[in-house]
């Protein structure tokens, strides 16, 4: 059976393609933007990729067209599918029908941290010998691909609230029918899909209504936006987590964390009468919270606290999540996917804490491409300056279609702020102004015109 995937280089659809290949399907796909790491991963799996949405890619009449949510009416391939009466479905629907039936699904939802937390949970179960299947919206370094079928009942999935397809506006996670659910956080995002926070909370409550009574919900002890979701009704057991000094004593979370190092590189976990310590390579309080959520979810399928903490000590992280690309003449360059003020802030705060502990006077430089629809539409105008406060310098790629008032952000920003209109100008400025000991964090959720590789080459030269 031959399936063709429209939008195959998206993180979700690319992972779905890998699962289809493992099931024995002939898999091909097309996308407007084909770039690493997903394009490389797909090619390594022997999946044929086509650039663009030319109907000619479909003229061999695949048995099923799986349509990604980036493809809408007016797309030439979509119009061809409809005109020719070809069978089609959404990615989440295909996944639910062909992969998730009969599995114990562990879903990771929330505005931030889904990819990292899903990777952590998958690795913990793997380390514990449970051989899980998984679908991750990124490339985890502990595995050789972002998805696999797995050998046993458990399947870990990144549960995105984004819509399923142009013909199915429900959130993707509604299709998954999970038994164990992490809801790590909830903020307003995806302004191109949701008119307000309340509409996102409605989708999250639809997810809550699907969790069986022998299931489990895991969430932070104090999160007003999630609390409003649970107030609408909740029928499954519920466990909470929190970091000492961040949540109040009255919150009394089921899973408690005490930081042993301010940058989050060492912490202690307490649950009931048990304690264990994690000493790992990741940084930032946000990653500590991701970790405790993953530990709690793993416990629901029988993994001990000690085993989970031992697994995290060997967790290598995820590509494009503070991934160090190299050091060039003493200048370190990192690739990070952050595309929301909260994610930007937690990432920079974590790196700043680590630099302050080393006390070498090294500078932290942030390079931002505001690529998400929500960011470009200007919805985060008033919170961006604060999110950048941990940096020493900020370089902003000035997209032609942004509605952000960059002059206002610059005037409110503590660090030096420069907005430049081309990738070439950004690279030229960074090469000229960086110095040994600098840490350059490049933040974009897209290909950024090959900026990362071009910057590394220019610094090396």
CA 455 to chain centre: 24
- Write the CB contacts of 262 (distance below 8 Å, at least 6 apart in sequence): 353, 356, 357
What's the DSSP call for residue 100?
A: I
48 assigned binding-site residue: no
112 assigned binding-site residue: yes
Coil vs helix vs strand at 88: strand
202 assigned binding-site residue: no
Rounded to 5 degrees, φ, ψ at 178 are: -80, 160
What's the order of all strands across the beta sheet hosting 439-443?
323-328, 331-336, 439-443, 364-369, 393-397, 416-420
393 assigned binding-site residue: no
Whether residue 268 has a cis bond before it, omega within 30° of 0: no
The answer to whether 155 and 104 have CB atoms below 8 angstroms apart is yes
The answer to whether 277 and 261 have CB atoms below 8 angstroms apart is no
114 assigned binding-site residue: yes
**Is 390 exposed, middle or buried (CB count within 10 Å of its CB: 0-12, 13-18, 19+)?**
buried
Rounded to 5 degrees, φ, ψ at 158 are: -75, 120
The answer to whether 7 and 92 have CB atoms below 8 angstroms apart is no
| Cβ atoms < 10 Å from Cβ of 388 | 23
116 assigned binding-site residue: yes
113 assigned binding-site residue: yes
The answer to whether 155 and 105 have CB atoms below 8 angstroms apart is yes
- DSSP-derived secondary structure for 371-397: -SHHHHTTTTTTTHHHHTTT-SEEEEE
Give the residue numbers of the binding site for ATP.
110-116
Give the residue numbers of the binding site.
110-116
């Amino acid at each position: 059976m031959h399936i063709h995937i429209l939008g195959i280089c998206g993180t979700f659809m690319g992972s779905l393609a890998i699962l289809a290949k493992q099931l024995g399907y002939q898999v091909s796909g097309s996308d407007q933007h084909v770039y690493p790491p997903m394009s490389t991963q797909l090619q390594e799996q022997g999946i044929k990729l086509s650039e663009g949405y030319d109907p000619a890619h479909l003229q061999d009449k695949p048995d099923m067209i799986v349509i990604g949510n980036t493809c809408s009416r007016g797309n030439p391939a979509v119009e061809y599918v409809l005109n020719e009466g070809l069978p089609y479905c959404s990615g989440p629907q295909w996944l639910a029908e062909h992969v998730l039936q009969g599995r114990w699904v562990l879903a990771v939802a929330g505005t931030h941290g889904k990819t990292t937390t899903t990777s952590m949970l998958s690795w913990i179960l793997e380390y514990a010998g449970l051989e899980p299947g998984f679908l991750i919206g990124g490339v985890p370094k502990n595995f050789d691909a972002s998805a696999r079928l797995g050998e046993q009942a458990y399947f870990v999935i990144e549960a995105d609230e984004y819509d399923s397809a142009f013909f199915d506006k429900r959130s993707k996670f509604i299709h998954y029918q999970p038994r164990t659910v992490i809801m790590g956080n909830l903020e307003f995002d995806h302004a191109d899909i949701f008119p307000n926070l309340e509409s996102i909370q409605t989708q999250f409550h639809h997810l809550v209504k699907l969790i069986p009574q022998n299931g489990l919900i895991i969430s932070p002890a104090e999160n007003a936006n999630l609390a409003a979701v649970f107030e609408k009704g909740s029928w499954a057991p519920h466990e909470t987590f929190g970091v000492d000094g961040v949540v109040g004593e009255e919150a009394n979370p089921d899973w408690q964390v005490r930081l042993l190092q301010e940058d989050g590189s060492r912490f202690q976990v307490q649950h009931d009468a048990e304690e264990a310590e994690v000493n790992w390579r990741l940084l930032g309080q946000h990653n500590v919270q991701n970790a405790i959520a993953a530990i709690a979810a793993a416990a629901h399928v029988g993994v001990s606290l000690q085993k989970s903490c031992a697994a995290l000590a060997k967790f290598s992280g995820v590509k494009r999540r503070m991934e160090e690309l190299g050091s060039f003449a003493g200048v370190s360059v990192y690739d990070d996917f952050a595309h929301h003020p909260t994610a930007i802030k937690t990432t920079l705060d974590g790196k700043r804490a680590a630099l302050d502990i080393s006390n070498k006077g090294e500078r932290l430089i942030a390079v931002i491409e505001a690529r998400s629809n929500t960011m470009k539409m200007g919805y985060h105008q008033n919170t961006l300056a604060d999110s950048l406060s941990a940096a020493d310098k900020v370089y902003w790629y000035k997209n032609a279609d942004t509605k952000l008032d960059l002059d206002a952000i610059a005037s409110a920003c503590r660090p030096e702020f420069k907005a430049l209109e081309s990738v070439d100008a950004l690279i030229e400025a960074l090469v000229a102004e960086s110095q040994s000991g600098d840490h350059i964090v490049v933040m974009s959720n897209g290909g950024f015109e090959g900026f990362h590789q071009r910057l590394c080459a220019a610094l090396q030269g």
